[in-house]
Structure 1
Amino acid sequence: MKKTVTWIVVADHQHARVYAHEGPGRGLQAIDGMTFDTLLEPSRDMKTDRPGRKPASGGAIRSMTPAIDPHREAGEKFIGGVAKAVSGAAGRKAFERLVLIAPPRALGEFRKALPDKVRKMVTAELNEDQTKTTDKDLADRLGAVLAI
């Protein structure tokens, strides 16, 4: 009988770890090359002190504020990179099922970043931040979702 491999992605906007689970009694195995980290500076350090100004057509001066918070944009880019790596592995048939564990906003960004084919592989989502959880505690936490 062919084993069913489930990948578990534990992420927020700065850290991500990916684990494999190959069935009951097998525990979780961290996947080599699938740990991601970035440093997000505070938003105030990622942009200029003041928005630019330019005269409007009517003569009044208008502020040119950025459309998106650079901190948030960097976090979305990080999630997109992790989703791309996971999607690539799905294309190589590295796993059959996917579990996503992330805080609410990051989880929503994962849903948007994953292609439909990979999104259909998602069997569970946990709407919480577990990035600082030890591997053992994570395995205990996943007992409700997987037969660890």
Structure 2
Amino acid sequence: MADKLWILVGNASRMRLFSADERGDDWQLREEFRHDESRAHNGDLKEQRDNPNGGTLHGPNEETEPDARQELEHERFARELAGRLERGVDSHTFERLIIAAPPTFLGRLRKALSKRVLQRLVLDLDADYSNVPARELPNRVPVI
């Protein structure tokens, strides 16, 4: 049986996915996602990774693009989350979606979402609730 509502809350390095009933009650933690590279400093991200820069021959230039490596990690995490949400659509696991994340990461995540996922997005909040205890989230995230 499909959950009526999924709620994704967090930031560029940690997200939690909850499910809830039609009225937004009975929140249940479904999954937690961590992307430690998003928290790392650019100097710590110098090592070569598979496809480190999305297709160019050289990685980001540290002098001209000091935050580029971290931005790449944020984009990777956004794509990972978008893929998980897409699989939820494919399996008819949820009907509606709410996302709460800081503005910059929320924009990256929205950009990574497919049209099918965006059609289920009923609310996005510019808020970082990554450190809010799960029991308090239903009081902070309005359910439409």
- The verdict on a shared fold, with TM-score over 0.5 as the criterion, is yes
User: Unpaired segments of 5 or more residues in structure 1?
Assistant: 49-63
The yes-or-no answer on 1:106 pairing with 2:102 is no
Listed one character per residue, the Cα deviations across residues 63-120 of structure 1 (whole Å, up to 9, x for unaligned) are: x826671111011101110110111111111000000110001111111111011101
Listed one character per residue, the Cα deviations across residues 18-57 of structure 1 (whole Å, up to 9, x for unaligned) are: 00011337321111xx211121220122238xxxxxxxxx
TM-score (norm 1): 0.77
Which runs of at least 4 in structure 1 moved beyond 4 Å after TM superposition?
none
The yes-or-no answer on 1:77 pairing with 2:70 is no
Partner of 2:143: 146
Q: Secondary structure at the match of 1:18?
A: strand
Closer, same or farther: CA 44–134 of 1 in aligned 2, 3 Å: same
Aligned length: 127
Larger Rg: 1
Trace 1:1-148 onto structure 2 (pairs within 5 A): 5-24=4-23, 26-31=25-30, 34-40=31-37, 41-47=40-46, 65=61, 69-142=68-141, 145-146=142-143
Tell me, yes or no, if the aligned pair for 1:9 and 1:17 is still in contact at 8 Å: yes
Tell me, yes or no, if the aligned pair for 2:5 and 2:24 is still in contact at 8 Å: no
Closer, same or farther: CA 25–13 of 1 in aligned 2, 3 Å: closer
Q: Provide the identity percentage.
A: 24
* Aligned residues: CA RMSD: 2.3
Q: Secondary structure at the match of 2:8?
A: strand
Q: Secondary structure at the match of 2:76?
A: helix
Closer, same or farther: CA 71–25 of 1 in aligned 2, 3 Å: closer
In 1, Cα distance between the equivalents of 2:24 and 2:115? 31
Tell me, yes or no, if the aligned pair for 2:102 and 2:126 is still in contact at 8 Å: yes
In 1, Cα distance between the equivalents of 2:117 and 2:35? 24
TM-score (norm 2): 0.79
Q: Secondary structure at the match of 2:94?
A: coil
